[in-house]
Amino acid sequence: MGKNKFLNNVAKVTLSTLLSASAVTMLSANAGFAPVTDADIANDAKTVEDVVTYGLGQKGQRYSSLDQINKKTIKDLVPVWNFSFGGEKQRGQEAQPLVKDGVMYVTASYSRMYAIDIATGEEIWQYDARLPGAILPCCDVINRGPALYQNLVIFGTLDAKLVALDRKTGKVKWKKKIANYKDGYSYTAAPLIVKGLLITGNSGGEFGVVGQLDARNPLTGEIVWTRPMVEGHMGTLNGKDNGITGQTNATWPGDLWKHGGAAPWNGVTYDPDADLIYVPTGNPAPWNSHDRPGDNLYSASRVAINPDTGKIVWHFQTTPNDGWDYDGISEFVAFEYKDKNGKMIKAGATADKNGFFYVLDRVTGKYIRSTNFV
């Protein structure tokens, strides 16, 4: 990665190298814009002409069935074009691009969004969020990518807002506040579309925020349900109270649960078979674990949520009373395998910052095994 050039993670921006010349021509941005449907999102892992979800499919497996790149041909893989995000704002880049109808949608540092012609590498449009000077991003000014739905491209900003842009023009269609950035909130994850809902979390656990997952109408940005990730806080459904998370003071002493951290800052995955959203959560707050005795649920956990109600179905905490900033934010990737008796197991796996690789039953949350990898 040169100083003035950016080639995103293993030549993701050179998608045309994976395709024949005729396929690249078909992917031209002049081919028109088809709405991104729920069916497109559900089938993303099976289609090779586009990438419409973060993780290349809601399960987060990032597996492509493209067969032109293999052990014999990978030596011939070369860049076709590169694109610079440029200037003083060229900071850390962690975004996964999305591709639809010949256009790549990719976010950049400082809450910027680009639409790029996949065949030529030319910029189609650019959107720059107007960020206030007092934002509080904990860990660099990055963004992990957008979501596509219908004719919208949606992403979050460092001042804890969501912005929906017209895919073709880059014009703002709606903008909503997630939380007050002055209270330490920000946003860095890629949203995920689940059953026609826009699923987003928040960032800012280091500043004592309350981690929360939200489900919105992606066409309007209006809230459908909320689910706090710290015990004692009330969730909502369609504007009404929907039960508190956990049990107040069960694993948090005194009033510490009121500012408990556990921000889901790395995004979520979803399994349509189990019909569950899997939410990795971050570190508890405050930092000093001796000041908050107890497990501090639901920090440093994987939490399974019903997408229709926003209710917690199960949880698995990987580091109770986390005092090392291990978090629990590594993605929960859904997959199947056969056990020693030949039974097919619906599992999920997560590689944790505490150094263990966990495998769970993704339907029930039951522990299956763990292996230390460091």
Domain with 360 in it: what CATH number? 2.40.128.630
Of residues 10 and 194, more confidence is placed in 194
Same domain, 207 and 167: no
Residue 3, domain member (yes or no): yes
Same domain, 204 and 263: yes
Q: Is the pLDDT of residue 3 over 50?
A: no
Ranges 7-21, 326-340, 350-364: which has the least confidence: 7-21
Q: What is the pLDDT of residue 89?
A: 67
Domain with 56 in it: what CATH number? 2.40.10.480
| 203 DSSP assignment | B
Same domain, 182 and 324: no
Of residues 320 and 135, more confidence is placed in 320
Residues 202-221: tens digit of each pLDDT: 998 888 899 999 999 999 99
Residues 148-164: tens digit of each pLDDT: 999 999 999 999 999 99
Q: Is the pLDDT of residue 83 over 60?
A: yes
Confidence of residue 5 (pLDDT cuts 50, 70, 90): very low
Q: What is the pLDDT of residue 88?
A: 62
Instruction: Kindly give, in sequence order, each residue whose CB lies less than 8 Å from that of residue 372, ignoring residues fewer than 6 positions away.
Output: 355, 356, 357
Q: Return the residue matching tokens 């949608």.
A: 105
User: Which residue segment(s) compose the domain that 118 sits in?
Assistant: 1-82+92-190
Q: Is the pLDDT of residue 266 over 80?
A: yes
Confidence of residue 21 (pLDDT cuts 50, 70, 90): very low
Question: What's the CA gap between 363 and 226, in Å, rounded?
Answer: 22
Question: What's the CA gap between 98 and 56, in Å, rounded?
Answer: 9
Same domain, 53 and 179: yes
Same domain, 325 and 370: yes
Q: Please tell me the pTM assigned to this model.
A: 0.90
Q: What is the pLDDT of residue 9?
A: 33
Q: What is the pLDDT of residue 26?
A: 44
Q: Structurally, how many domains does the chain consist of?
A: 2
Mean per-residue pLDDT for 187-211? Answer: 94
Residue 50, domain member (yes or no): yes
Instruction: Kindly give, in sequence order, each residue whose CB lies less than 8 Å from that of residue 353, ignoring residues fewer than 6 positions away.
Output: 325, 326, 327, 328, 329, 330
Same domain, 326 and 179: no
Which residues form the catalytic set?
Answer: 325
Mean pLDDT (the chain) is 90
Same domain, 48 and 131: yes
Same domain, 249 and 333: yes
Q: Return the residue matching tokens 């090392």.
A: 324
Same domain, 66 and 184: yes
Confidence of residue 232 (pLDDT cuts 50, 70, 90): very high
Q: What is the pLDDT of residue 32?
A: 76
Q: Is the pLDDT of residue 27 over 70?
A: no
Q: Is the pLDDT of residue 33 over 80?
A: yes
Strands, E assignment, 187-308:
192-194, 197-200, 212-216, 223-228, 234-237, 240-244, 269-271, 276-280, 301-305
Confidence of residue 11 (pLDDT cuts 50, 70, 90): very low
Neighbour order of strands in the sheet with 240-244: 192-194, 197-200, 212-216, 223-228, 234-237, 240-244
Question: What's the CA gap between 80 and 66, in Å, rounded?
Answer: 18
Count of CB atoms situated within 10 Å of the CB of 70: 8
Same domain, 186 and 241: no
Q: What is the pLDDT of residue 353?
A: 95
Mean per-residue pLDDT for 312-326? Answer: 96
- Which of 190, 218, 245 marks a domain boundary? 190
Same domain, 169 and 207: no
Mean per-residue pLDDT for 19-28? Answer: 43
In percent, how much of the chain has pLDDT > 90?
Answer: 80
- Which of 190, 205, 231 marks a domain boundary? 190
Same domain, 335 and 258: yes
- Which of 190, 212, 243 marks a domain boundary? 190
Residue 97, domain member (yes or no): yes
Residue 87, domain member (yes or no): no
Q: Is the pLDDT of residue 356 over 60?
A: yes
Residue 244, domain member (yes or no): yes
